[in-house]
Structure 1
Amino acid sequence: MSSDQAMELLRMLLWNSLLVAGPAVVAALVVGLLISVFQVATQLQEMTLSYVPKMVAVALVLIVLGPWMIHRMTQFAISTIQMIPELG
Structure 2
Amino acid sequence: MGSDVALALMAQILWGAVIISAPILLCTLVIGLVVSVLQVVTQIQDMSLTFIPKLIGTVLALVFFGPWMLRKLLLLASGLISNIPNYF
Gapped regions of structure 2 (runs ≥ 5): none
Amino acid across the alignment from 1:77: A
**For residues 87 and 18 of structure 1, what CA distance do their matches in structure 2 show?**
23
Q: What percent of counterpart residues are identical?
A: 38
Secondary structure at 2:66 match in 1: helix
How far the C-alpha of 1:30 sits from its partner, in A, is 0.7
Secondary structure at 2:46 match in 1: coil
**For residues 37 and 79 of structure 2, what CA distance do their matches in structure 1 show?**
44
> Is residue 2:57 matched to residue 1:60?
no
Gapped regions of structure 1 (runs ≥ 5): none
**For residues 17 and 7 of structure 1, what CA distance do their matches in structure 2 show?**
15
**For residues 29 and 35 of structure 1, what CA distance do their matches in structure 2 show?**
10
Secondary structure at 1:13 match in 2: helix
TM-score (norm 2): 0.95
TM-score (norm 1): 0.95
How far the C-alpha of 1:83 sits from its partner, in A, is 1.4
**For residues 12 and 87 of structure 1, what CA distance do their matches in structure 2 show?**
14
**For residues 7 and 72 of structure 1, what CA distance do their matches in structure 2 show?**
21
